[in-house]
Every structure is written in structure tokens, then in C-alpha cells.
Amino acid sequence: MRELTEQLKTQLRAEIKIGEDQLLIDEAELITIEPSDQSAVENEIGKEFTVRLDGKLTVPVVNAQLLRRTIEDHIRQNRPEGMLLADGLEFRFEKIAWTPDRESVSLIIQSNAQVAATVDVERIRTEIIGFDTEKIRQYFQGHPDIEKADVSIRPFWKQSLPRKTSKIEITVTP
């Protein structure tokens, strides 16, 4: 009987069909298997008999695009000023519980979102006009939101940045 039950579960899982924009919460699958009838008779060893199982597989499905859009909107509305939401949300489902009537599922959806600081490079160019190497280093030390900055002073014999922002070469990594 256990083997038949496992075969039925495998068959039911294989028959699940969802759209490309749907997300299957397989951690919440609910399989109900009921033995319905059998032809075995007690004390008839060696005779052929049949066992029929009826099964039902219930799996919650969510619209992945709608879920992603809802979470992204929430993050955008609640992120600090000057922060940018990176692409690529991943979802995890936790504390999955079916209601007693088995009509719906309650769960917690968690997502890791990467948020990066937006950097106004033109503003930085304007603020560092004419700085020497020491002032440039101090400027970026005072900006913890900037992970790395490469500033070129050219030609190499110059001791400070030019007075024109268009001549300042800078690459910033937030």
C-alpha cells in the first residue's frame, strides 16, 4: 500500500501544469490519498486482486509577476533617499499553514533585495574642482556610501584637479 501511495504522489506531481508567470509553492503541497475499494478477500493467498487509490494534490500557486511587482513597490516606497533597487528578487516561503477547511494557505514570503546608493557623479566633480590628492582622499572618506572612487589627475605632473568639471576623470562605485 505504501508503494502505491508513493507512485500516486509521483504521478500527481507530474500532472501539475502552471503558466510561466506562475510560482508554485511546492513546500505547501497537500496530498490526500484515500483507498476507495479493493478486491482482496481475507485468507485467499496467491489470488490476484486489485487495489484502487484516489488522490488529490493541492498546491498553492501565486502570480510571480504580481508578487514581484508588489514587493518591489513596497521596497521602493520604503527605501532610504538616494538608494536604488537592484534587479533580481528571490523569494522564500516560510511558516506555511493550511487553514482547517483546506481552502487557503497562510505563509510568510521573504525576499532579499539588493539596494545600492545612487551617486551623482556630476555633483562630485563640481565639489572636488581644484582639489589636491589629500583633499580628494578626505572628501571620499567623508562619504561612506561610496565604496570606491578612482580620480585621475592629468597630466601626471599636475598636483591638483582641473578647474573645469569636463576635464575631471572620475569613476565611482557605490
- The count of structural domains within the chain is 2
pLDDT, one tens digit per residue, over 107-155 is: 888 877 666 667 888 889 999 999 999 999 999 888 877 888 899 888 8
Same domain, 50 and 72: yes
| In a shared domain, residues 110 and 77 | yes
Q: What is the pLDDT of residue 130?
A: 93
Using only C-alpha atoms, the chain has a radius of gyration, in whole angstroms, of: 31
Q: What is the DSSP string of 65-128?
A: HHHHHHHHHHHHHHSPTTEEEPS--EEEEEEEEE-TTSS-EEEEEEEE--EEE---HHHHHHHT
Are 62 and 12 in contact by the 8 Å Cβ rule? The answer is no
How confident is the prediction for the chain on average, in pLDDT?
77
Instruction: For residues 97 and 148, state if they share a domain.
Output: no
97 and 38 together in one domain: yes
Domain stop point among 116, 133, 152: 116
Residues spanned by the domain of 67? 2-116
Give yes or no: residues 100 and 154 share one domain. no
| pLDDT per 10-residue tile (average), the chain, 174 residues | 70 70 68 64 64 70 79 76 66 80 81 72 91 92 84 87 90 79
pTM for the model stands at 0.41
Q: Verify that 61 and 137 share a domain, yes or no.
A: no
Backbone angles phi, psi at 61, to 5 degrees: -130, 135
